[in-house]
Amino acid sequence: MIMAFKQAASRFASGVTVVTTRVGEEVYGITCSSFASLSLDPLLVTVSVNAHSPLLGRVRASGCFAISVLHREQREISQYFATRDRGGAREAFDGFPTSLHATGAPVMDGCLSYFDCRLHDVLPGGDHRILVGNVVAAGGDLDGGEPLLYYAGGYRSLESPDRGPDRGEA
């Protein structure tokens, strides 16, 4: 049943994000494809993180985290933060420029969008924990660019022609 579940779940395309936090001078990040908008009032988002991820303790300690929605050209960033034990650094992530917004959690430069959050709650979710963030700042390259997508075990990109305004065509 687990293999059938994994295969079925791999057929859901998702955007790729990097979730980061800062505790003192230490920064930490992981790649995460389980992100969702939760509420407009209050502004809440969620990310699902492995229950054994070192990110969880750091987010609890800092009380904040940022979610960077990656651009299709940021595959190298995704791969770096997806590698176990590579997400921690002193002050900055070597080779990956970041900026700081409301909470001090790093946001990846060049990302499509970002959500800077104060920790609202941590909920159980089987072998994962669900971080619920209260969004205190958001932005990014909101005028263009394509997302980095993950589908069927690999990175993908949008390949549809520009049709102009959506007229309900399929």
29 within some domain: yes
Domain range enclosing 82: 13-151
**Which residue shows structure tokens 């209050």?**
42
With contact defined as beta carbons under 8 Å apart, do 58 and 66 qualify?
no
pTM reported for the whole predicted model: 0.90
Question: What are 24's two structure tokens?
Answer: 């003192």
In a domain, 158, yes or no: no
Which helix (H) or strand (E) segment holds residue 4: the answer is helix 2-9
Residues with Cβ within 8 Å of 130's Cβ and at least 6 positions away in sequence, in order, are 46, 47, 48, 49, 122, 123, 124
Q: Is residue 71 part of a domain?
A: yes
CA distance 154 to 152: 6
Q: Is residue 83 part of a domain?
A: yes
pLDDT under 50: residue ranges of the chain: 161-170
Radius of gyration in angstroms for the set of CA atoms belonging to the chain, rounded to a whole number: 16
Q: How far is the C-alpha of 116 from the C-alpha of 120, rounded, in Å?
A: 12
> Rounded to whole angstroms, how far apart are CA atoms 128 and 50?
4
Structural contact between residues 47 and 19, judged by C-beta atoms closer than 8 angstroms? yes
Confirm whether 147 is domain-assigned: yes
| Residues paired with residue 64 on neighbouring β-strands, in sequence order | 118
Provide the token pair at 15. 């955007």
Domain containing residue 76: CATH number: 2.30.110.10
- DSSP letter assigned to residue 63: S
Tokens of residue 89, six digits: 């650094």
Q: Please indicate, yes or no, if residue 90 is contained in any of the structural domains.
A: yes
Classify residue 112: in a domain, yes or no: yes
Count of domains for the chain: 1
Each residue of 51-85: pLDDT tens digit?
999 999 999 999 999 999 999 999 999 999 998 87
Question: Would residue 57 count as lying in a domain?
Answer: yes
CA distance 169 to 161: 13
Q: What does the chain come to in residues?
A: 170
Per-residue model confidence (pLDDT) at position 160: 52
